[in-house]
Structure 1
Amino acid sequence: MEHRNPLPPHLLIFPLPLQGPVNNMFKLAELLCLAGVNVTFLLTDHIHRRLSIYANIHSRFRRYPGFQIATIADGLPADHPRDGNQFIEIFDSLKSPESKAVFRDLLCGYDGGIRGPVTCVIADGILGFALDVANDVGIPVVSTRTVSPACLWIFFCLPKLIQSQEIPFPGNDLDELIKNVPGTETFLRRRDLPGFCRAGDISDPNVRLYETEGQINSRARGLILNTFEELDGSILSQIRTVCPNLYPIGPLHAHLKTKLLAGETPATASPAASSSLWQEDRSCIAWLDKQPLRSVIYVSFGSIATLTKDQLMEFWYGLVNSGQKFLWVIRPDSVAGKDWESQAPAELTQGTKERGYIVGWAPQEEVLAHSAVGGFLTHNGWNSTLESVYEGVPMICWPYFLDQQVNSRFVEAVYRLGLDMKDTCDRVTIERIVRELMEVRKDEFLQEAKKMGELAKRSILEGGSSYTSFERLVSDIKTWSPRS
């Protein structure tokens, strides 16, 4: 009797359509391809267009015959900015009945070919409708969240915070400690909660969106998180009270690079390419090559945050007045108004010529790994925070929205890898804190950052905590996906 070789599992991966989550999930997709799993990666049309212009996703994944990209409309008009301020609109549009119908058709439409039918879905845990549709058609779901575990735990605790009337909170005392987020009672302040918790209205759409996260994620077979036990073990133990089956497999970007460089990929493969939605200016690497060891503070507020002209000028004066060398990413759309460069005072232009370098976008992982970089002034998006942790680069934290307020507090009070500068933006404070990180406490911070970076590197090697979690994830996916 002839026996057919079983097909590998066929995963459909559905990330939240924002730069950070998409980058994250492409790394997970490639890790799974390396493990012999077939992957269909679902993008919105808008994100797919951006990637087609600025990234080489199709060529990057061409070496994996089991990988393909599918697209879905996000339902928004072409001129919609799709930035952090309009996040709720993106989400609401995606969960429309029309989008659910398209998603159902996608799940049920693969019944043959080299990939076979979809056997498992990995979807962002905030996309509860994806879990509902997959469950309706009998396909197992694993949730993934690309926010920090600390922020996710706060989301899980939102019903308790509302019930105890800790939110909305009265008055303007932002330094009062929060009592009803277990494991954080000694250091988490009101100002460290996600920004929407300050709205003073529990009917705020953001509150309503996130307060059901615990219920949604607990209905999945498991929850994938981009962290490692040695960094977030205390918070992971709290999350396991709601979602017992966790897969902490981070730092994802480094996990992937390590497997690629270890030769667990076809001979033609190269290290992971960029999936940036912006054109990278690599001239900054040549500039860094000329700078002394650990002398440069890298400044980037990510792919979503925007600055007013006044904020831009305060940061610019603070950086120049600090006397430190700086590499600063200023995205084309990140400043209100287009004439900020022409209005710069002469002392800023001259100070930048002497000690600074400004680009529209940078290859961030490569920048943070550069020996000239000694600090990172960041918005504390979780991807950026983990990249900095992995490379042993101390941080100055200036969060913008969502999990970033939480992350900045953890960087200073829990990880002890930097300084939290939230809720302030004046040149005197910026100058002082830059000097504190890069001069006054430089050795202290570099030493702590180096220790944590070494733990991160160990976690993704064979036998490490993240390595072991990923192996278990692949094994479970195969167990859930029998083929004959």
Structure 2
Amino acid sequence: MEQGSQVPHVIIFPLPALGPVNSTLKLAELLSLAGLNITFLNTDFNHDRLVLHSNILDRFASFPGFQFKTISDGLPADHPRAGDRFMELFDSFKLVTKPLFREMLCSGQLNSVTGDSVTCIIADGILSFPIDVGHELGIPVISIRTISACSFWAFFSIQDIIEAGELPSRGHEDMDRLITSVPGMETFLRLRDLPSICRTNNLEDPNLQHNAYANRQSVQAQGLILNTFEDLEGPILSHIRSQCPKVYTLGPLHTFLKFRLESENALLQSLAPNSIYKVDKSCIEWLNAQPLKSVIYVSFGSITILTRDELMEFWYGLVNSKKRFLWVIRPDLVTQKDDEGQIPMELLEGTKDIGYIVGWAPQEEVLAHQAVGGFLTHSGWNSTLESIVAGVPMICWSYFYDQQVNSRFVSEVWKLGMDMKDVCDRVIIEKMVNDLMGEKSEVFMKSTVEMARLASESVSEGGSSYCNFNRLIEDIRLMSMTAIK
């Protein structure tokens, strides 16, 4: 391994949400294992919650070249940073975080533990400003997107969709209209399957404009890292490569890290969840007592917000299905608190018989459990990949941002489950749960088992993600040598 200043010093700067932070922490560990010096730059808010609810400090202490640094996201401590209000982060990042980031780089606050300056930045591409700062200071920047390739490509194509006259929406009755201006998706992508920010009748909407601009900025970076694998998204990746200089598919990152650590004593510690919520592991004991493939796991991630009415529809649908269920209900999942505790007795009794509810679960462990036979999910990309790796079919109820695209691909392209977007009705929920866990389970199981096999192959020696990771390491070393000179 190189010594001293020749060792690349990489800053990793994720989007401050659990999914992106989780993925980039796994990448940080992989790069540390490869001998690089890493500074992980997280927002104060998310770092404090990670330290409180996970073992990340102990886990990364074994890497002498690794350090955590924090930066303000510009929002008050009591800001929810969830639901529709999550998008408020981008304005505060522009006003507060961007100048702070530049100042921290220039002043040496982000130097490595050995005192070396930054030689490469890996930053979430949706932030866009690290590319500007990197270019200004002469530091190479690689974008990372922790969304799927298909959703990235849909975001990338927003300007083309607008120019083709396929946006804005003309109302609710317009939602099933085909969108034909996204290459590779012309035959199945509907208006309702576009990212949620496209659901506006105002083409000047700030969120729409920011995403249209930021995703096109990826071509200005020296490369693009995606948490996916070639056998899953090859056709769409070919379109992305026509626009982006270098694409490194490294996924599934959580499986890749597991494979790299198989012979390490720290395996179990390293695979502990990177959680910003308190994990309740009692659900594993409950799963241990359930029959094979009998439980549907229900979780809507860390950002989704439900109304109380939506909560009730899901609850009735699950109880009425008569299928066993494990449900994650975060403390901040429901918007309306005034009726809290007033749950109908029939639901409480029904849940007592077949259900188990926790505030947060160790999701990778849950999905890998032999008792789990289905996943009712918000279609966040980490959750989707974890379900694919575990060979668990999905019911997709997408809520936000990239999830609408993911859910369409799960149902129509990869045939790994069913899409329930824009519907929250107890009768439909009951039917879909029974279909997924009953008569259609064998059909989905065949597809999910095969895709799980391909995911495993991609991160194994000689697989596409394995080879792309080695290529990334070499490219970072070359970039860093140039930056040092």
Q: Shorter-chain TM-score: which interval?
A: over 0.9
For residues 192-231 of structure 1, give each alpha carbon's deviation from its aligned partner in whole angstroms, at most 9, with x where no partner exists: 0112212111111111111113431000000000000000
Change (3 A) 1:77 1:199: same
Instruction: List alignment gaps of at least 5 residues for structure 2.
Output: none
Residue type at the aligned position of 1:291: Q
> 1:119 and 2:119 equivalent?
yes
* Cα distance in structure 2, aligned partners of 1:445 and 1:434: 13
Q: Out of 212-221 and 335-344, give the one that drifted further.
A: 335-344
* Cα distance in structure 2, aligned partners of 1:220 and 1:268: 33
* Cα distance in structure 2, aligned partners of 1:270 and 1:258: 14
Q: Out of 110-119 and 318-327, give the one that drifted further.
A: 110-119
* Cα distance in structure 1, aligned partners of 2:34 and 2:331: 38
Residue type at the aligned position of 2:195: P
For residues 103-158 of structure 1, give each alpha carbon's deviation from its aligned partner in whole angstroms, at most 9, with x where no partner exists: 12322315675251110000010111111111111110000011111111011111
Question: Which residue in 2 is equivalent to 1:331?
Answer: 330
Residue type at the aligned position of 1:391: A
Question: Which residue in 1 is equivalent to 2:459?
Answer: 460
Change (3 A) 1:118 1:161: same
Residue type at the aligned position of 1:104: R
Provide the identity percentage. Answer: 57
Change (3 A) 1:111 1:203: closer
Q: Secondary structure at the match of 2:139?
A: coil
> 1:322 and 2:321 equivalent?
yes
Residue type at the aligned position of 2:66: F
Question: Which residue in 1 is equivalent to 2:228?
Answer: 227
Count of paired positions: 479
Q: Is 1:153–1:239's contact at 8 Å kept on the other side of the alignment?
A: yes
Q: Out of 208-217 and 469-478, give the one that drifted further.
A: 208-217
Residue type at the aligned position of 2:71: I
* Cα distance in structure 2, aligned partners of 1:336 and 1:86: 12
Question: Which residue in 1 is equivalent to 2:7?
Answer: 8
> 1:100 and 2:101 equivalent?
no
What's the offset of the Cα at 1:283? 0.3
Question: Which residue in 2 is equivalent to 1:162?
Answer: 162
Question: Which residue in 1 is equivalent to 2:250?
Answer: 249
Q: Is 1:38–1:115's contact at 8 Å kept on the other side of the alignment?
A: no
Question: Which residue in 2 is equivalent to 1:382?
Answer: 381
What's the offset of the Cα at 1:340? 5.6
> 1:60 and 2:59 equivalent?
yes
Q: Is 1:66–1:115's contact at 8 Å kept on the other side of the alignment?
A: no
* Cα distance in structure 2, aligned partners of 1:4 and 1:297: 50
What's the offset of the Cα at 1:313? 0.8
Question: Which residue in 2 is equivalent to 1:343?
Answer: 342
Instruction: List alignment gaps of at least 5 residues for structure 1.
Output: none
Q: Out of 337-346 and 431-440, give the one that drifted further.
A: 337-346
Q: Is 2:16–2:42's contact at 8 Å kept on the other side of the alignment?
A: yes
Question: Which residue in 2 is equivalent to 1:42?
Answer: 41
* Cα distance in structure 1, aligned partners of 2:267 and 2:372: 32
Q: Is 2:327–2:358's contact at 8 Å kept on the other side of the alignment?
A: yes
Change (3 A) 1:416 1:268: closer
What's the offset of the Cα at 1:348? 1.1
Q: Out of 111-120 and 428-437, give the one that drifted further.
A: 111-120
Q: Secondary structure at the match of 2:456?
A: helix
* Cα distance in structure 1, aligned partners of 2:318 and 2:20: 30
Change (3 A) 1:211 1:362: same
Match runs of 1:4-403 below 5 Å: 7-96=6-95, 98-108=96-106, 109=108, 114=114, 116-171=116-171, 172-263=173-264, 270-338=269-337, 342-403=341-402
Q: Is 1:63–1:269's contact at 8 Å kept on the other side of the alignment?
A: no
* Cα distance in structure 2, aligned partners of 1:267 and 1:215: 40
For residues 349-387 of structure 1, give each alpha carbon's deviation from its aligned partner in whole angstroms, at most 9, with x where no partner exists: 111111110001000000000000000000000000000
Q: Secondary structure at the match of 1:261?
A: coil
* Cα distance in structure 2, aligned partners of 1:111 and 1:463: 35
* Cα distance in structure 2, aligned partners of 1:269 and 1:166: 49
Give the superposed CA RMSD.
1.7
Change (3 A) 1:355 1:113: closer
Q: Is 2:83–2:305's contact at 8 Å kept on the other side of the alignment?
A: no
Q: Secondary structure at the match of 1:211?
A: helix
Q: Secondary structure at the match of 2:438?
A: helix
What's the offset of the Cα at 1:84? 3.2
For residues 73-114 of structure 1, give each alpha carbon's deviation from its aligned partner in whole angstroms, at most 9, with x where no partner exists: 111122211113122211111122x43332123223156752
Question: Which residue in 1 is equivalent to 2:449?
Answer: 450
Q: Out of 69-78 and 369-378, give the one that drifted further.
A: 69-78
Change (3 A) 1:269 1:396: closer
Residue type at the aligned position of 2:296: I
Q: Is 2:294–2:371's contact at 8 Å kept on the other side of the alignment?
A: yes
* Cα distance in structure 2, aligned partners of 1:47 and 1:5: 31
What's the offset of the Cα at 1:176? 1.2
What's the offset of the Cα at 1:323? 1.0
* Cα distance in structure 1, aligned partners of 2:322 and 2:394: 18
Q: Is 1:293–1:372's contact at 8 Å kept on the other side of the alignment?
A: yes
Residue type at the aligned position of 2:226: L
Residue type at the aligned position of 2:85: Q
Q: Secondary structure at the match of 2:270?
A: coil
> 1:479 and 2:456 equivalent?
no
Q: Is 1:411–1:419's contact at 8 Å kept on the other side of the alignment?
A: yes
Q: Is 1:9–1:477's contact at 8 Å kept on the other side of the alignment?
A: yes
* Cα distance in structure 1, aligned partners of 2:3 and 2:258: 34
* Cα distance in structure 1, aligned partners of 2:406 and 2:266: 39
Q: Is 2:67–2:112's contact at 8 Å kept on the other side of the alignment?
A: no
